[in-house]
């Protein structure tokens, strides 16, 4: 992940980032010596192992607000790392990407968790984009040369996301200058889709900015 200097755009980014090495999960969850994610039972086992780890890492909230606020549980950023995964088929992408995102989309989600996906390169990208399209989801993915927004999104959402990604953080007083009069509703929409972090002070942060200092946890340990 490319390190970038702090920008002039400001905002609250107090999320706690954690990395999960998917290849290590494959080895431990399905006792596989290879780092290939193929067949739905393998994908389901890996997803369930990830969800179990998330439950251990993040408290289960009594209430999760649509936008993080002072009374909402502390947000967490999970970096799902495919770096050492060689093959990712459609059924495993459906389990490990789409179903994982769906589990944490609605107001009844078990934790205030945002997801990033690392190393979604050409070997993985087609499967990931296919399952995102099928479920009407979008995801923030490190595709090797920086983060991109993959999956269905409107042109306005893409523009707002790209601006936030470039700024890293946008404070409440900078919203209009950065995105115009519709900046706040657009960023709130991205936050509802779990594609950006909307803070209690009325600012926003790119998910990649919240994870910039994250050191990849090789071996899948917290």
pLDDT at 5: 37
Better-predicted residue by pLDDT, 120 or 124? 124
Helix (H, G, I), strand (E, B) or coil at 59: coil
Sheet hosting strand 113-118, strand order edge to edge: 16-21, 76-81, 113-118, 139-142, 147-150
Find residue 80's DSSP bridge partners: 20, 117
**Residues 184/11, Cβ–Cβ less than 8 Å:** no
Torsion of Cα atoms, 168 then 173 then 179 then 180, to 10°: 180
pLDDT digits (tens, 9 = 90+) for 40-56: 999 999 999 999 998 88
Helix (H, G, I), strand (E, B) or coil at 81: strand
Pairing state between β 113-118 and 76-81:
parallel
> Closest by alpha carbon to 22, among 156, 119, 149, 144?
119
Backbone angles phi, psi at 165, to 5 degrees: -60, -40
Mean pLDDT of all residues in 91-101: 97
pLDDT digits (tens, 9 = 90+) for 133-146: 999 999 999 988 88
Q: pTM higher than 0.85, yes or no?
A: no
Backbone angles phi, psi at 207, to 5 degrees: -60, -35
Domain ranges of the chain: 16-210
d(CA 203, CA 7): 14
Task: Please give the DSSP secondary-structure letter assigned to residue 70.
Answer: T
Handedness of CA 74, 196, 218, 94 (dihedral sign): positive
């Amino acid at each position: 992940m490319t390190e970038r200097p702090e920008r002039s755009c400001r905002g609250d980014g107090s999320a706690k980032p954690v990395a999960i090495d998917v290849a290590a999960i494959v080895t431990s969850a399905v006792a596989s010596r290879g780092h290939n994610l193929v067949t739905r039972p393998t994908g389901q086992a890996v997803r369930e192992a990830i969800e179990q780890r998330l439950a251990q890492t993040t408290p289960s909230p009594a209430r999760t607000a649509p936008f993080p606020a002072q009374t909402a549980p502390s947000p967490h950023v999970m970096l799902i790392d495919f770096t050492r995964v060689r093959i990712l088929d459609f059924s495993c992408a459906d389990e490990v990407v789409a179903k994982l995102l769906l589990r944490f989309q609605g107001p009844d989600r078990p934790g205030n968790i945002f997801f990033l996906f690392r190393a979604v390169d050409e070997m993985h990208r087609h499967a990931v984009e296919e399952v995102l399209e099928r479920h009407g989801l979008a995801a923030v993915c490190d595709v090797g040369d920086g983060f991109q927004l993959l999956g269905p999104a409107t042109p306005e959402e893409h523009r707002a996301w790209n601006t936030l990604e470039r700024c890293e953080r946008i404070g409440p007083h900078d919203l209009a200058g950065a995105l115009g009069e519709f900046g706040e509703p657009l960023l709130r929409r991205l936050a509802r889709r779990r594609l950006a972090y909307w803070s209690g002070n009325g600012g926003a942060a790119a998910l990649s900015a919240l994870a910039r200092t994250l050191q990849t946890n090789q071996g899948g340990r917290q």
